[in-house]
Each structure stands twice: as structure tokens, then as C-alpha cells.
Structure 1
Amino acid sequence: MKKKLLLAICLMATMNGFAQKKDFSYKFYGQIRTDLYYNSRANKETVDGLFYMYPLDKLPDADGKDLNATANSSFYTLYTRLGIDVAGPKLGNAQTSAKVEVDFRGSGTTFSTVRLRHAYLNLDWGKSALLLGQTWHPLFGDVSPQILNLSVGAPFQPFSRAPQIRYRYQNRNFQLTGAAVWQSQYLSVGPDNVKSQNYIKNSCVPEIYAGIDYKTKKWLIGAGIELLSIKPRTESKVETVDPITDIKTSKTYKVNERITTLSYEAHLKYTNENWFVAAKSILGSNLTQLSMLGGYGISSIDKRTGEQEYSSILNSSSWLNVVYGKKWKPGLFLGYIKNLGTGDAVTKLYGTGTDVDQLVTAGAELTYNVAHWKFGLEYTLSSAWYGSMDKYEGKIKDTHSICNHRIVGVAMFMF
């Protein structure tokens, strides 16, 4: 199936040089990308280190030596990609278009296989547009860092491509965005820290996003709000012990558990011939499906049925990115996350980085850019403060810091 998909994209791309269907046009594009990286220790990451997030805590062996304090390095071409943009005939008063884009990142622990990145159709009426399909999550939006690391700023920057129904309306300098979003490749974390599609599938409620942007030739300023409502479990198992016989019995109960959270974001971007300055700040609750830190904790348990209630971890996350130049482009990236706790007493936490109190990242890069080519080198220093959970507020206390030094070298040919 994957080979057929890739063959279909290549065949569609070659149609540019041959007779095309009336009112259709095709634009084939892609890139060959190579990534060489080095880390001074083990990290929270995916794709065998290509998608880097933050350093892992100490893991002492029998002699007290840190098992995670081991350097690692590798070289990959998994983010080579192919895509096609299609402009189609009008449907009523709407201009139609579509996009299909794949790379070779694979999924899970399976790499070097075809993976769908974007696949959507778009209806554009001029002032308004309707998109159906998979593309960047609205919280990723139109403002993201220009850095070499493939995480594109995660976990400070929301990172996800997701199936969605998105409507945009633009009037002069203002743009309104509304979207219903589901989960596919990027999933929420639930009980036992397991990622699953079932949490939102059983909820029957998609993520809801609403945002507003003000745009000029050089400026983009906006804000948005995100609602997420998931069902962590639909059944629970309760074990009891007979006080006389000491015989253990287990009973299963159907439960109706749900956790609903709101998250808020603000962003800005300034661009001209030489400068790129962008920033984003998020007050996020349970945004693990967006490659961010967070999750939720158990705040109460029904003694008979085992049904649980939850409180979400609140995280404040911000980043700033400054890049200058055309051919030679130096850039700086700064990111900061603070765990603000659950606000309620909790007994257990589920999520990503639930034992991290704060995270700081600073990066510097230099890229050389000419037509169709990019070469770059980037250094990143990340520090994570780990500790134990305060069960009364869900905050992290008694912290200590762990650092990682990361170097990335990138060569890209774009066509």
C-alpha cells in the first residue's frame, strides 16, 4: 500500500510535463534532508533522537553512576519528503485545491517507511475558506520557529499535524479561524502513561479551536483558545479482599470518566527583507497530543466502582526566535516552561514530563542559504529541573537540574 501511494505521487508529478486535465494544474515539490546530531546525554525524544525535546533525569546504577549520562550521535535522511499541490476547477464560486505530502519518518519504532504528513482539500471563496483533511494543528498555526532541530521548538511550540475541519474568514487585516480537530499520529497520554486514540474517540467530542489574527505586510499578531475533552477510561477493575478468608476477588465496572480542559495562546511575528522575529506564549492544560509537557492527575476515586475524577496540570510555555540575514543567517532561540501544578490534591499523574518543574532551552545556529540549498549548524543547551510531586497542589518540589548539550548539522536540497 505504501509503495502504491509513493508511486501515485510520482505519477501525478510527472503529469506536469504531459497533457493535463482541463482546469487542473499540478506542482511537484520535495527535499532531500540529512541530519547529523550529537547529544551529551540521553533525552526525551522520538525517531531515535531526531525529534529532540529535553534531557532525561538521572538514572543511577548499583554504584550510583548515572546511566543516562552517556553521549549519543547518529545520522539520518528520514525527513526527506515528497509532495504535490493541485489546483482544480471551480466548485460553484469556490476555487478548489488540494495537497498530499509524505516523508520517510515512519511511525512508532518503524523508520525509513512512508508516512503521511499532509492530505487535505480546500475550498476558497476569497474572503473565506474551508479546509478538510490533515495538516498543521491550529495551535502550531502560522507562527513557528525557524530552527534546524526537527522538533521545530517542541515542547515549547505546539507540534502536531491532525485531521481537521477548519474554516477561515478574512476581512481586510483581520482573520478569524475556527476548527474541529481529531487525533491520528499525535495522541493524548492517558492511564499508565499510554498514548491512545481511544481517549478522544470514546469522547465523541473533537478538539475545538477558535482564533483571531491581525495581519499586515510585516506583522502578524493573534491569539487563540483550545478546548480538549477526553475520556481516560470506560471501565475500571476493583479488587477486594475478604477479611475472613483473605480471598481476592476482582470486579469490572463501567465508568463515565471525562476531563475537559481549556488552553490559551498568543503569538506574534515580524518579517522584512532581513529580519525574522517571532514569539508565542501558551497557558496549556493537558496538551500532550501537541508534543508538549503536561497531563493530569487523579483527584478522587469512588471506593465501590473505582470511577476516577481528574485535575489537569497547568503549564506556562513561551519561546522567542530571532533570525537575521539572507544568504548567511544567524539565529537565536529561547524557550521556557514552568509547571504550575494541578491546583487540587492528586494521588497520581499521567502525561509527559510530569516530574519536570521547569525547562529552559537556549540555541544558536548559523545557516548558509542559496537557491535550492541550505547548510546549517546549530548548538542547543537544555536544562530540566526534576523533583518530586507535592500531592496537595500537584506541583514539583525539591528540584535538581539536568543539562544536555546538543549539536545538529543539516544539509538540504529543495526542489
Structure 2
Amino acid sequence: MKKSLFITGLYVFAAFISVAQEQPQKPRIETKPYGFVAWETIFDTYKSLDVRDGELHFYPLKPMFDDNGVDVNKKNQLQMLSIITRLGLQITGPDVLGAKTSARVETDFYATANAYTYLLRLRHAFINLKWQNTDLLLGNYWHPIIVNEILPATISFGAGAPFHSLNRSTQIRFSYFPVSNLRITLSAIAQGYHKSKGPEDAQRNSGLPELLGQLSLGNSKSLMIGASAGYKWLTPRLYIASSNTGTHKTIGQYLLSCFVMAKQNQSSFKAEVVYGENLTHLNMIGGYGRVTESDLNSDYDYANLRTLSTWFDVDHMMGKWAIGVFGGYSKLNGSSKNYSTIAGYNRDDDMNYVYRISPRVNYKEENLMLGIEYMLTTAVYGKTFDAQHKVTSSLDPVSNHRITISAKYSF
């Protein structure tokens, strides 16, 4: 009897081991590739400030007339591109320090400068630790002023730049959720390939990170509102050649924003207002320069140019079809000090204002999306300025009409 029970036990144990071996063990690290292959045809009617062979469009250049009075910038242009083709890897792993862990690496062929177009660049590379009420992000990601829930749905690359911020930076970002629909975020940021105009090491030389706090209320399914406030420091020069002396003159620059998103059924509305000093690291107009009264060869003070930028985006889904429209307006508001264009660091400090209206339609079938977008961008440049660089008279407006036809195959 005992022998029979022992043999039966051995069979049960062997069967248990066999079943356990047949069941696959869940890997400690899981990876999921994602991305898309893109194709675009872009047609323009006026030569404009753009980068990467015309992929990212800002606004028309200032008119330039020849001896016959013809504006030579008024010229049709055509381009085909696939440089926004994207590849990413989403990574999840075991819990660490009581937090769910994940990471992401993402790249495309947009590169980091015009000279490197068609080469790979780092879009995102970050680690995320998520506790019950807190999140910690470490790495290269969207600048915190860019809220994922409030991104424009434009077909053209750039998500509405230069009206909407476009910036990726290395950062440490801490988010706290005291209640389910309230998010408080604090960030410290270092500039990467999206830098302020001027010396590339100006922020590094300051010895300080850019700081930004953000408060958002609501959720991505119905309504969200929020605001951000930030401050950064730049030290453009360490040495004055004319006097053979060092300088650590540092300038501070503030940033403010507020945003809203509302959804109902198949429609959504998003809008944002940004105001601040030297927003060039966000790919906006503006900059900073020397205070006029100071000597060019001295340890001079700096004057910031102030920029106002606002945009809206409306989108409506109709089954496999989607229609939408983006609108943006940005204006230079001069400085609080007397500003000199000599020894300045800026993106078109002779701009008065620029605006854009951009309707679109796209169709999605499985993992293939086809879209077409018309973009009217009009720029008005200043003709005369006061001592604080506020426009007192303007040149005639110049406009570019852009048509983008796009195809994306996602995976």
C-alpha cells in the first residue's frame, strides 16, 4: 500500500514538473518595436525660412527685390521627402523600488542640422519610474511645456511650429497626482540640439538648468486645462578679447503658458498661449541682444525680446476620415530695455508678426494613412523700430501657400 502511494506520488510530481516546463516563463524584460515609414510631396509658392530640405516650414522670408522691382523670393518649389520615417522601441521591465519601470528609445532620419539631413538622430531616450501617485522621468524627451494631450494634429511635420513649441531636451521630470485628475509637474532641463540662438554652450556656461513648473487639471477623454511657468539662464561670453578680460555676465529669461483641450463625441478642440523672453529654443521667433547704451567691447548687459504666440487646432473624426484645421499667430513685442541689433542672437528680430491657417483631411485604412493639407503662412516684417525694438511701421505682407500630400505606413 505504501509502495503504491509512493509510486503514485512520483507520477503526480513528474506530471507537475512536465506541465510547469511546458508553460512559458514571462520574460523579465519585454520590448515592442513601433514606428512608421513616411512619404511626402511638398509644394510651396514662396521661398521661406525652412530646414531639412523644406521639411519643417517656419514662414516666408523678407521680400527681396531686384533692379526690375521683382521679388526674387516669389518662386514655386517642389520637394519629396521620407526623412521623418521613424523607428522606436518601447521597453518594460520588473518593478524596482516599488515602481513600475519602462524605457523608450526613438529615432528618425531628420538629423540634428541641415548638414546631416538623412542621418539618424535621437528623438527620445528616457527611463520612466511610476509609483501609485508619482512619476519620475529621466532622459531625452519633449520639453515639459509640450503637453502630450494638447498636441496639434497637423499633417505637416512640426506640430504647428513656430506657433506651437518644438523642442526635445534632456531632463529630470517629477510628476505628482494628489487626486486622479490633478497633475503637478516640476522639471529641470538642459538644452540639447534644440538650443537658444547664440553660442551653443550659453546655458551650460550659466551652471544652471532651465526650471519649469506645470499644473494641469482634467483628463485626456473630456476636458483638460493647465498652465506652465519657467525660467532659464544663459551666459553667452566668458572672455572679452578687446580688453583681455573675463566675463560671466548672465541673463535670465522667463516663460509662461496656458492651455486647454476639450473633446465631445468625435470632435476635439485644443488651444494654447505662450508668452516669454527669448523663446528661440522652442523654435519660435525672438531672441536677445546687447543693451544699446553699453559699449560693444565692454562687459555689456543684455536685453530680451518678448514673444507672444498662440494657436488652436480643431479635429473631427468621421469613421475612417478625419478633417481638421490649425490656426496660429505669433508676434514680437520688443524689449523692456533699449535693444541693439548689433551683437544680437535671434531668429528674425525684424519680424512684426506671422500667422497661419491650415485645413487638412486624412483617411486611414488599417495601418495606412493618407492625408493632404493646405497651409497659408503670412509674415509681416517691421520697417522701422523704436529704441526698445517695437515696430513703428511695417513692410507689406508676404505669403507662402504650401500643399503637403502625405502617406504613412505604421507598425
Residue 300 of structure 1 and its aligned partner are, at CA, apart by 4.7
Residue 303 of structure 1 and its aligned partner are, at CA, apart by 4.2
> Does residue 154 of structure 2 align to residue 147 of structure 1?
yes
Residue 396 of structure 1 and its aligned partner are, at CA, apart by 2.2
The 10-residue stretch of structure 1 (150-159 or 368-377) with the greater mean CA deviation from structure 2: 368-377
Residue 343 of structure 1 and its aligned partner are, at CA, apart by 2.4
Q: Find the partner of 2:310 among 311, 318, 321.
A: 318
Q: In structure 2, do the counterparts of structure 1 residues 293 and 304 end up closer, same or farther at CA, with 3 Å as the change threshold?
A: closer
Task: Name the structure 2 match of 1:276.
Answer: 268
Task: Name the structure 1 match of 2:112.
Answer: 107
Question: Given residue 180 of structure 1, which amino acid in structure 2 is its aligned partner?
Answer: A
Task: Name the structure 2 match of 1:262.
Answer: 254
Q: Find the partner of 2:46 among 25, 41, 61.
A: 41
> Does residue 211 of structure 2 align to residue 211 of structure 1?
no
Structure 1 portions without partners, runs of 5+: 1-18, 191-195, 239-250
- Is the Cα–Cα contact under 8 Å of residues 376 and 411 in structure 1 kept in the other structure? yes
Q: For residues 128-171 of structure 1, what are the alpha-carbon distances to aligned partners after superposition, in whole Å with 9 as ceiling and x for unaligned?
A: 01110001111122212000110211111010111000000112
Q: Find the partner of 1:156 among 158, 163, 166.
A: 163
> Does residue 117 of structure 2 align to residue 117 of structure 1?
no
Q: Distance in 2 between matches of 1:48 and 1:99?
A: 28
Residue 48 of structure 1 and its aligned partner are, at CA, apart by 1.2
> Does residue 174 of structure 2 align to residue 174 of structure 1?
no
> Does residue 398 of structure 2 align to residue 408 of structure 1?
no
Q: Find the partner of 2:144 among 135, 138, 141.
A: 138
Q: Distance in 1 between matches of 2:98 and 2:116?
A: 44
- Is the Cα–Cα contact under 8 Å of residues 384 and 394 in structure 2 kept in the other structure? no
Residue 302 of structure 1 and its aligned partner are, at CA, apart by 5.0
Task: Name the structure 1 match of 2:10.
Answer: none
Task: Name the structure 1 match of 2:352.
Answer: 357
Q: Distance in 2 between matches of 1:41 and 1:20?
A: 60
The 10-residue stretch of structure 1 (212-221 or 115-124) with the greater mean CA deviation from structure 2: 212-221
> Does residue 32 of structure 2 align to residue 24 of structure 1?
no
Task: Name the structure 1 match of 2:193.
Answer: 185
- Is the Cα–Cα contact under 8 Å of residues 184 and 197 in structure 1 kept in the other structure? no
Question: Given residue 159 of structure 2, which amino acid in structure 1 is its aligned partner?
Answer: V
Residue 304 of structure 1 and its aligned partner are, at CA, apart by 9.2
Aligned runs of 1:63-142 on 2, under 5 Å? 63-108=68-113, 109-142=115-148
The 10-residue stretch of structure 1 (304-313 or 282-291) with the greater mean CA deviation from structure 2: 304-313
Task: Name the structure 2 match of 1:366.
Answer: 361
Task: Name the structure 2 match of 1:198.
Answer: 201
Q: For residues 158-211 of structure 1, what are the alpha-carbon distances to aligned partners after superposition, in whole Å with 9 as ceiling and x for unaligned?
A: 101110000001122100011111111111102xxxxx4301110111111100
> Does residue 375 of structure 2 align to residue 375 of structure 1?
no
Question: Given residue 68 of structure 1, which amino acid in structure 2 is its aligned partner?
Answer: N
Structure 2 portions without partners, runs of 5+: 1-23
Q: TM-score, normalised by structure 2?
A: 0.89
Count of residue pairs brought into register by the alignment: 380
Task: Name the structure 1 match of 2:227.
Answer: 223
The 10-residue stretch of structure 1 (54-63 or 327-336) with the greater mean CA deviation from structure 2: 54-63
- Is the Cα–Cα contact under 8 Å of residues 146 and 321 in structure 1 kept in the other structure? yes
| Structure 1 runs (4+) greater than 3 angstroms displaced | 19-22, 300-305
Q: In structure 2, do the counterparts of structure 1 residues 252 and 65 end up closer, same or farther at CA, with 3 Å as the change threshold?
A: farther
Q: Secondary structure, in 3 states, of the residue corresponding to 2:403?
A: strand
Q: In structure 2, do the counterparts of structure 1 residues 367 and 48 end up closer, same or farther at CA, with 3 Å as the change threshold?
A: same
Question: Given residue 207 of structure 1, which amino acid in structure 2 is its aligned partner?
Answer: E
Q: TM-score, normalised by structure 1?
A: 0.88
> Does residue 320 of structure 2 align to residue 327 of structure 1?
yes
Q: Distance in 2 between matches of 1:115 and 1:406?
A: 26
The 10-residue stretch of structure 1 (209-218 or 387-396) with the greater mean CA deviation from structure 2: 387-396
- Is the Cα–Cα contact under 8 Å of residues 236 and 254 in structure 1 kept in the other structure? yes
Q: Find the partner of 1:295 among 266, 283, 287.
A: 287
State the structure with more CA Rg: 2
Q: Distance in 2 between matches of 1:20 and 1:27?
A: 18
Taking only aligned residues, the RMSD between alpha carbons, in angstroms, comes to 1.7
Q: In structure 2, do the counterparts of structure 1 residues 389 and 312 end up closer, same or farther at CA, with 3 Å as the change threshold?
A: farther
Q: Distance in 2 between matches of 1:107 and 1:148?
A: 21
Residue 124 of structure 1 and its aligned partner are, at CA, apart by 0.6
Identity, in percent, stands at: 29
Residue 369 of structure 1 and its aligned partner are, at CA, apart by 1.6
Residue 39 of structure 1 and its aligned partner are, at CA, apart by 0.8
Q: Secondary structure, in 3 states, of the residue corresponding to 2:288?
A: strand
Q: For residues 191-241 of structure 1, what are the alpha-carbon distances to aligned partners after superposition, in whole Å with 9 as ceiling and x for unaligned?
A: xxxxx4301110111111100000233111110011111112112233xxx
Q: Distance in 1 between matches of 2:176 and 2:285?
A: 32
Q: Distance in 1 between matches of 2:289 and 2:49?
A: 21
